[in-house]
Every structure is written in C-alpha cells, then in structure tokens.
C-alpha cells in the first residue's frame, strides 16, 4: 500500500510533463522556445522572491535560535497532545493562513530541526502542500470589489484549513 502510494506519487511529475509536452507537439507548437520564455519568467519570480525569503528566514531563524519557538511549543504541548497534533508543527499551523513566505520559512526551519523524512517532516510537508495563505487570498478577493461584509467566509476557509491539517497528521501517521 505504502509502496503503491509512493509509486503513484513519483509518477505524477513525469506524467504531467509528458502529457503537456505531447500536447504541445500534437498542436505543432515550438515547445522548446515556449518552454524557454516560461523558464525565463520563472527566474524573475525567484529573484523577486529572494529578499522576502531572506527577511522572513531571518525573523523565523531568530525566533528559533532565541528559544522563543521552543517556549511556545512547550506552552502548547498540553493542548496539542489533547488533539494528538505534534507540537513541533504548531508554529507552522499558526502562521500558515497568514503568510505564504513566513510559513515557508517556518516549514524549512522545522524540517532542518527535526529532519525532512521523519514523521514531523512529512506532516510539515503535507500541510504546506495542502493549504493556502487563506487570509491573504480573502483580503485580495474582497478588496478588489470593495466588499467588507464577507458573511463568514473566513470561518469556512479556516475550518477547511484545520480539517486539512488534521487529515495531514492522520495520513502521515498511517503511512509511517
């Protein structure tokens, strides 16, 4: 079962790439030229992202090395034990809805500390992959039409995030 899941997981990237490139060939596109123009744009994205990453990695790194994160994790342990949520992942769960790059910095920090391929590392990865920056998304989409009455969509989105996080923990526990 675990082997099958790993196998299908590892097929996802090759299959996606193959289907897209075959489609390009079928419709007689200059696949390589198109690829290059997209890739070039990708480099710009990363270059623009670097300052943000630097700033946030710094802030998160300081929180970790000063011992504040451990202090908060210790405080939260009784609560997280109650719901069987690993307390090491708690900083990520708290920051994830607020900021994409800050949660990325926390995720890297957690995986650096507890290992990528450990249970904690897996849970961190799955949470990062299956949730979004909820608050930011809601802010963008409501402000572009100047709407202030959101009828509780925030709670729906946060409920979805919490469900995603709980399921992530559950699946990773099952697989490990």
- Tell me whether residue 53 or residue 73 sits nearer to other proteins (CB atom): 53
How far apart are CB 64 and other proteins at their closest, in Å? 7
Own/partner pairs, 94-97, CB within 8 angstroms, 24+ separation: 96/127, 96/128, 96/131, 96/133, 96/134, 96/161, 96/165, 97/131, 97/133, 97/134, 97/135, 97/157, 97/158, 97/161
What is the torsional sign of CA 138, 111, 91, 168? positive
8 A C-beta contact, residue 52 and residue 101? yes
Q: Which residue has the tokens 């994790």?
A: 73
How far apart are CB 45 and other proteins at their closest, in Å? 6
Taking the C-alpha atoms of residue 153 and residue 97, their distance in angstroms, rounded to an integer, is 14
How far apart are CB 83 and other proteins at their closest, in Å? 16
How far apart are CB 84 and other proteins at their closest, in Å? 16
- Tell me whether residue 89 or residue 165 sits nearer to other proteins (CB atom): 165
- Tell me whether residue 10 or residue 74 sits nearer to other proteins (CB atom): 10
């Amino acid at each position: 079962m675990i082997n099958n899941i790993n196998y299908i997981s590892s097929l996802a990237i090759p299959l996606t790439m193959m289907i897209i490139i075959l489609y390009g060939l079928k419709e007689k596109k200059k696949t390589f030229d198109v690829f290059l123009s997209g890739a070039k744009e990708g480099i710009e994205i990363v270059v623009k992202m670097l300052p943000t990453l630097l700033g946030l990695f710094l802030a998160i790194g300081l929180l970790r090395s000063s011992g504040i994160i451990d202090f908060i994790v210790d405080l939260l342990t009784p609560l997280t034990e109650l719901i069987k949520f690993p307390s090491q992942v708690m900083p990520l769960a708290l920051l994830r809805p607020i900021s994409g790059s800050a949660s990325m910095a926390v995720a890297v920090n957690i995986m650096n500390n507890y290992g990528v391929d450990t249970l904690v590392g897996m849970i961190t990865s799955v949470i990062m992959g299956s949730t979004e920056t909820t608050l930011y998304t809601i802010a963008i989409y409501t402000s572009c039409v100047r709407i202030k009455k959101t009828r509780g969509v925030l709670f729906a989105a946060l409920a979805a995030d919490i469900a995603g996080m709980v399921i992530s923990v559950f699946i990773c526990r099952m697989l490990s």
